[in-house]
Amino acid sequence: MKLLGVISLVSMLAVTPLYAKQSSEPVEITKVFEKLNLSAEQKQQMKLMREEMQRNVEKNKVAVAEAQAKLDSVLDGESSDETIRTAHAELVKQRNELESQQLEHMLKVRALLTPEQRKTFSSLRPRGKNGNESRGLAPNHK
């Protein structure tokens, strides 16, 4: 469950629209960079990974939206159960692809961090009411 929380933090950082004044970095990322005490090289690598993630997420969001529209369309019509199941399976596939992309991104980020930075990064993940519990995931039990 900790992994899912970290994935949600990485995803938030990858697609957040808020930008810091006089900086091309999102506000949340700037704060995380400061807390992690990243080197200049780590910051550059994180920026490149985030840009790649954003491109991938945007492509996948389109695929998810198309699959959702297809499912809505077949549910509204006189489609067979099998057609509906097929459309639903495609939607699930596209959502899983998005989650897999987010996981792979998180693993790349983790590989870039020192053990101490990993601990700090893990402590920054969303928890509780607005964290992973709000996404329907089981709470983090220790």
Residue 107 included in any domain:
yes
The number of distinct structural domains making up the chain is: 1
Residue 25 included in any domain:
yes
> Of 47, 62, 60, 63, which is closest to residue 14 (Cα–Cα)?
47
pLDDT tens, per residue, the chain with 142 residues: 444 444 444 454 444 443 333 445 556 767 877 888 899 999 899 899 999 999 989 999 999 999 999 999 999 989 999 999 999 999 999 999 999 998 999 899 999 999 999 998 888 877 655 554 444 434 444 3
Structural domain span for residue 11: 2-128
Residue 141 included in any domain:
no
Which pLDDT value is given to residue 128? 59
Residue 135 included in any domain:
no
Residue 138 included in any domain:
no
Residue 142 included in any domain:
no
- The CATH number assigned to the domain holding 38 equals 1.20.120.1490
> Of 55, 52, 60, which is closest to residue 95 (Cα–Cα)?
60
